[in-house]
Structures are given as C-alpha cells and as structure tokens.
C-alpha cells in the first residue's frame, strides 16, 4: 500500500533521516563545530579588546606607550573570526553536497522501485519541482540552517554571560525579555506563514505539471488549434500562484516589521540605560562602546535567528513532499533475499488468474493457459479484453488478485523481480525511446554490448540500412521520447533491443502495430526466427501475424472464449473466424486500393 497523501513526515523523522546520512562524516562535523566555536570566541572577544583600547586611549595622562598588543590583537581577532568561519564552511561543504547527492540518488532509485500504478497516477511535471525543492531544502537545513542557528545561540549565550558578570542585571533582563518576545512572535507568525508557503508550493507544482503535460502533447494541441485554450489554462493557474505569493509576501512583511520593531525597542532600552550609566559616571565611555557593540552583536544574530528559523520552516515544508515520496512503498512487495528465477525450459503457466486494476472492477476472470517450452501462444481479442494485462502480470508490474503465474514451476512472487524481468524480452505496443542516440537506445537491451553487437541486432531488426543512410548513422539523436523517429522505426529499435538482450522468454505486445503491410511482412520472419526455441507470448491485433502460433487464445471481457491453432479456430466458425474474415476483407480492400493507385 502507498503512503496516504495526507500523511506528513514529522520534523523528528526528517532530522533522524538526515542524521542517518550525515553520520558517516563525524570527523568533518567535529572539525566544523570546533571552527564554529573558535570563530564565535573571536567575535565575542573583539568588543572586549575594543573597550580596553578606548579606555587606554581616553586617558592621555596615563599613556606611556601605544597599546600595540591590544591593537594588534584586535586586528587578529577580527581576522580569526573570518578565517574560522571559512574553515568551518570548507570542512562541512563535503557533508552538505554528499547528503544532497545521496538524497537525489535515493529518490531516483526509489522512483524506479515503485509500482506501475504509482507511475500511472503521478504527474511528472509536479513531481520534479517537489524533488528539486526537497533537495534544496536539505542543503539549507544542513548548511545555512545548522551553522547559523547553533553559532547564533552560542554567541547570544556568551554575550549574556559577559553582560551578567560585568554589568547590572537590568541589561540582562532587557535582553532576555526582548529575546523571549522576539522568539514568541517569530514562532507564531512563522507557523501562520507556513500555510501560505505550502499553498505556493502546491500551485507551483500544478503549474509545472500543466506546463510539462501541455508540451508533451504539443502535437495534440496543434491538431485541435487549442493554443489559446492551453495558454488560458496556464494563465489561470499562474494567476492563482501569483495571488498566493502576494499573500505569502504580506505574511512575510508582517513578520519582518514585527521582528524589527521588537529589536528596535530592545536596543533603545539598553542604550538609554547605558547612556544614563555614563552620565551618572557609573560607567566609562569604553563600557558604553562595549555595550553598544554587544547589543548590535546580539541584534544582528537575533535577526539572523529569525531569518534562519523562518527559512528552516520553509525548508522543512519543501522537504515534506520529498520525504513523503521516499516513504511511498511499492505496491508489489519484494522481501529481501528472494532467490533468482532459474529458467531451465521456459514453461509459462497462468493458473486460475483473476485481476483488477481497481477494486470492484475485475479485468481477468479465472484465466488459465500454458505456454509450453519453446512454443508461442498468441492472444487476440477486442480492446479492453485483458490481452495486455497478461503481459503486465507476467512481468509482475502488478500482483495477481487470485491464482498464480508460474515460470518453470516457480511462482513469480517467490523470486526476485529483477531476475524475472531479466529473463523476459519485450517489444511493446508503444515504444518510448531515451533522448539519446540510436546506438544508445539499441544498446540499452544489454549494458555490456559492443558496437558490433548493436549493429548485428540492428541488421536482424532490418533497420541497419536506414541507420547507415543517416548523416550521423548510429550517433543520430532520436529526440525526446523518440519524436524524430517514425512509429515503425521506433518499433524496429525496440525489436533490436529485444534481439540484443537474447532472453529465454519473449513478449510481443502488438509488436508490428505501427508497421505498414510491407514492413510487417519483412519483419515477421525475423520475429518468427527470434521466437524459435524460446517461449513467446504474442499479443496481437492483426491475426495474420499469429497464424503460425502453436495456440491462439481468443479473449473477451477478461475470459478466454476460444482456444486452439489457427486452422482449428477457423473450422469452428466462432468469434475468431468472424474476426479473421473481417480483417481479410479489410486487407484485400487496402491492397486493391494500392494497386489502383500504382496503376494511376
């Protein structure tokens, strides 16, 4: 079962998961923390040294020499704070980048492990922004978040200790009250703003999803001249997104102004108290400068603390979708340690198989048949009869609702899906290619294939001559989803991939549906040759492609209504015979039209 969309990973779970990844860099984390502490010690020391310099130089009658040590130390401390901060970032950079890369890789691998149902329902245009925002959020939480939050709290603590030990408790009280009011205000208003941020993220994902879907269906938009409709739909989503961003900005304005007002009141109170102390000669000018420096030093990190908290909350919101995605579980479970499938003969058996994609809507009803080793079984029938579902179940994209699917007596649920699919070659009805070269797409059938292997497979699929006629030959890019290739060319590439894979089991799912009659005849012999001595499941629309199959199954509404060889089914005069006569009449009409056109 998949994780319910409403369930959100808690902050504790997010931080726990992050720690699991970064814990391998404990040494670098310790070095970064030591540099962080040294940098803050240097920062806090600067006002103390400045006070001593001002006190020394403000009494000329007692100066016997220039306080070189203090002046030099002041410069060194300023440099040291910058140096240790840079060393901290350098030490921790590998941790941050490794973690982001790990999460990106884990998400990529996890997406490939999820079920076919998840990928049938997901929207790629909305999924990619969620992943992008999530990885950016992780980088912020580890980098800016961790190394601003921790040092800020450390700096505030050190300054409060110094102020408490050297001056009146009133200073500490004012700073403490300011800090508490600031934190309370920030917590409340940041929580309110998170609602707006989630809405912005959701609308942004919707916009990206609509954009991607529209561009993928570019041809359809052109067919129906619906450019204006698509533009209006996108404009509508973007209008909602813009309004959500404006509302988010209003909430941010309230947060910023409130934080600044609280800090201003705190600074004014401290400076008035310090000015009164100097006026009544309870403190010297150096003390006033020291207090002023520390107040500024407190206000800046306090403001940074508010910024980091706000951005960290945004980062957590941005990572929610990513961690929710990582908690999606595959619909087809696979316990660890399952043995590999061992194909000795290649017998495939469907035993009383029932299945439905949705509850209450059964697609297959107690389907049983056997494909003997080295033979071909063809499945024909109308759209929605369940033909392609048989292939998906054999590949274990879905688990059967009832019954079993066996390969050489092994229930495919008891073996690893990787070994199962490695034993099956597929030529699908719709071939989608990678946006790479022809050679890459053919070679995808076997990762260790040489160029000679790829060329041999292309020749067997009768596409080598076409490839050689292209300017870039096998290095020709096929375009996004193979849009630069015709339907027939794409299916020949798919056939070449299957030939290159050389598996013991084969599935042809409408393998020649995109080919014209001449190309179909040219390639059918190769399909027959490829199927020799292999177990093959052929799903076909054109009956002429399955006449030589050992057994033909005729399906209707998820049930096998007829079965037998071609000649026997014709003699029965049932559904198969009627479908054969209909297709033969159609093909004769097409051939007659071609003859008339050629004569003309």
Helix/strand/coil (H/E/C) assignment for every residue in 232-298: HHHHHHHHHHHHHHHHHHHHHHHHHHHHHHHHHHHHHHHHHHHHHHHHCCCCCHHHHHHHHHHHHHH
- Determine the Cα–Cα distance for residues 516 and 317; give it in Å rounded to an integer: 53
Give the pairing of strands 551-556 and 559-564.
antiparallel
Q: Which residues on adjacent β-strands are paired with residue 353?
A: 367
108 alpha carbon, distance to own chain's centre: 5
Q: What's the CATH superfamily of 13-326?
A: ABC transporter type 1, transmembrane domain (1.20.1560.10)
Confidence of residue 4 (pLDDT cuts 50, 70, 90): very low
- Is residue 182 within a helix (H) or strand (E), and if so which, with residue range? helix 169-216
- As a whole number, mean pLDDT of residues 425-438 equals 83
Which tokens belong to 586? 């159609």
* Average pLDDT of the chain, as a whole number: 78
Of residues 384 and 58, more confidently modeled: 384
- HEC states along 80-105? HHHHHHHHHHHHHHHHHHHHHHHHHH
Of residues 481 and 503, more confidently modeled: 503
| Backbone torsion region of residue 564, taken as left when φ is above 0, otherwise alpha when ψ lies between -120 and 50, otherwise beta | left
Q: How large a percentage of the chain has pLDDT more than 90?
A: 7
Confidence of residue 394 (pLDDT cuts 50, 70, 90): very high
3-state DSSP assignment of residue 162: helix
3-state DSSP assignment of residue 600: coil
- pLDDT at position 502 over 80: yes
Question: Which residue intervals of the chain bear CATH 1.20.1560.10?
Answer: 13-326
3-state DSSP assignment of residue 431: coil
Dihedral of CA atoms 90, 91, 92, 98 in degrees, nearest 10, equals 90
- Determine the Cα–Cα distance for residues 240 and 577; give it in Å rounded to an integer: 58
- HEC states along 95-154? HHHHHHHHHHHHHHHHHHHCCHHHHHHCCHHHHHHHHHHHHHHHHHHHHHHHHHHHHHHH
- pLDDT at position 542 over 70: yes
Confidence of residue 3 (pLDDT cuts 50, 70, 90): very low
The CA-atom distances, in angstroms, between 79 and each of 39, 50, 231, 481 are 10, 14, 55, 56
Closest CA to 40 of 178, 150, 167, 195: 150
3-state DSSP assignment of residue 444: coil
Please give the pLDDT value at position 574: 86
User: Which of 193-207, 208-222, 361-375, 497-511 is predicted least confidently?
Assistant: 208-222
- As a whole number, mean pLDDT of residues 159-186 equals 80
Closest CA to 502 of 406, 592, 423: 423
Q: DSSP assignment, residue 25? A: G
Q: What fold is seen in the domain 341-423+504-600?
A: Rossmann fold (3.40.50)
User: Which of 175-184, 287-296, 401-410 is predicted least confidently?
Assistant: 287-296
Which tokens belong to 289? 């400068």
Residue position matching structure tokens 């206000």: 299
- pLDDT at position 383 over 70: yes
- pLDDT at position 127 over 80: no
Task: Determine contact, residues 442/496, Cβ cutoff 8 Å.
Answer: yes
Please give the pLDDT value at position 119: 65
3-state DSSP assignment of residue 589: helix
Question: Which residue intervals of the chain bear CATH 3.40.50.300?
Answer: 341-423+504-600, 432-502
Looking at 1.20.1300.10, 3.20.20.480, 3.40.50.300, 3.30.450.20, the CATH number of the domain 432-502 comes to 3.40.50.300
Q: Which of 13-27, 52-66, 119-133, 388-402 has the highest mean pLDDT?
A: 388-402
Ranges of beta strands (E only) in 356-419 are: 364-371, 376-381, 402-407, 410-411
Q: DSSP assignment, residue 221? A: H
Confidence of residue 100 (pLDDT cuts 50, 70, 90): confident
DSSP string, 501-522: H--SEEEEESTTTTS-HHHHHH
- pLDDT at position 21 over 70: no
The CA-atom distances, in angstroms, between 433 and each of 215, 340, 392, 437 are 17, 28, 19, 9
The pLDDT tens digits of the residues spanning 239-252 come to: 888 888 888 888 88
User: Which of 54-58, 189-193, 375-379 is predicted least confidently?
Assistant: 54-58
Please give the pLDDT value at position 226: 76
Q: What is the pTM of this model?
A: 0.64
- As a whole number, mean pLDDT of residues 236-264 equals 84
Please give the pLDDT value at position 163: 76
- pLDDT at position 462 over 90: no
Q: Rounded to 5 degrees, what are φ and ψ at 574? A: -95, -145
């Amino acid at each position: 079962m998949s994780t319910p969309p409403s369930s959100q990973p808690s902050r504790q779970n997010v931080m726990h998961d992050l720690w699991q990844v970064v814990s391998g860099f404990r040494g670098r984390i310790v070095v970064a923390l030591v540099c962080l502490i040294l940098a803050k010690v240097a920062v806090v020391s600067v006002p103390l040294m400045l006070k001593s310099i001002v006190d020394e130089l403000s009494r000329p009658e007692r100066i016997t020499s220039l306080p070189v040590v203090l002046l030099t130390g002041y410069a060194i401390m300023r440099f040291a704070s910058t140096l240790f901060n840079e060393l901290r970032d350098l030490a921790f950079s590998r941790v941050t980048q490794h973690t982001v890369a790990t999460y990106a890789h884990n998400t990529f691998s996890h997406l490939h492990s999820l079920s076919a149902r998840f990928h049938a329902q997901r929207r790629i245009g909305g999924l990619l922004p969620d992943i992008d925002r999530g990885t950016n959020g992780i980088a912020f939480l580890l980098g800016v978040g961790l190394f601003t939050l921790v040092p800020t709290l450390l700096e505030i603590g050190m300054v409060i200790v110094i102020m408490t030990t050297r001056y009146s408790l009133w200073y500490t009280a004012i700073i403490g009250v300011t800090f508490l009011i600031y934190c309370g205000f920030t917590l409340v208003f940041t929580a309110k703003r998170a609602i707006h941020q989630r809405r912005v993220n959701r609308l942004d994902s919707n916009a990206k999803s609509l954009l991607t879907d529209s561009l993928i269906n570019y041809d359809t938009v052109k067919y129906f001249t619906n450019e204006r409709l698509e533009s209006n739909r996108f404009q509508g989503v973007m209008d909602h997104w813009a309004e959500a961003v404006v509302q988010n900005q209003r909430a941010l304005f309230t947060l910023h102004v409130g934080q600044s007002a609280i800090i201003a009141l705190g600074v004014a109170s401290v400076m008035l108290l310090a000015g009164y102390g100097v006026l009544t000669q309870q403190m010297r000018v150096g003390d006033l400068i020291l207090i002023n420096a520390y107040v500024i030093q407190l206000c800046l990190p306090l403001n940074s603390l508010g910024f980091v908290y706000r951005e960290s909350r945004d980062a957590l919101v941005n990572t929610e979708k990513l961690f929710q995605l990582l908690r999606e579980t595959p619909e087809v479970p696979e316990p660890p340690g399952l043995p590999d499938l061992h194909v000795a003969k290649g017998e495939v058996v469907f035993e009383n198989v029932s299945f439905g994609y949705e509850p209450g809507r059964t697609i297959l009803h107690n389907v049983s048949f056997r494909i003997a080793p080295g033979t071909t079984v063809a499945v024909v029938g109308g759209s929605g009869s369940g033909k392609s579902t048989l292939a998906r179940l054999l590949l274990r994209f879905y688990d059967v609702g009832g019954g079993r699917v066996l390969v050489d007596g092994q229930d495919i649920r008891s073996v690893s899906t990787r070994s199962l699919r490695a034993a099956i070659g597929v030529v699908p009805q719709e071939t989608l290619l990678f946006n790479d070269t022809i050679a890459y797409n053919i070679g995808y059938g076997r990762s260790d294939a040489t160029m000679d292997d790829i060329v041999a497979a292309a020749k067997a699929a009768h596409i080598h001559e076409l490839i050689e006629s292209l300017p870039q030959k096998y290095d020709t890019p096929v375009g996004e989803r193979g849009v630069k290739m015709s339907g027939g060319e794409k299916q020949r590439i798919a056939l070449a991939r299957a030939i290159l894979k050389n598996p013991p089991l084969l599935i042809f799912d409408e393998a020649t549906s995109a080919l014209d009659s001449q190309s179909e005849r040219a390639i059918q012999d190769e399909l027959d040759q490829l199927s020799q001595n292999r177990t093959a499941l052929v799903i076909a629309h054109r009956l002429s492609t399955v006449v030589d199959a050992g057994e033909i199954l005729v399906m209707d509404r998820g049930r096998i209504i007829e079965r037998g060889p071609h000649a026997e089914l014709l003699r029965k005069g049932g559904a198969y015979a009627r479908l054969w006569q209909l297709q033969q009449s159609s093909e004769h009409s097409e051939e007659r039209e071609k003859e008339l056109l050629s004569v003309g």
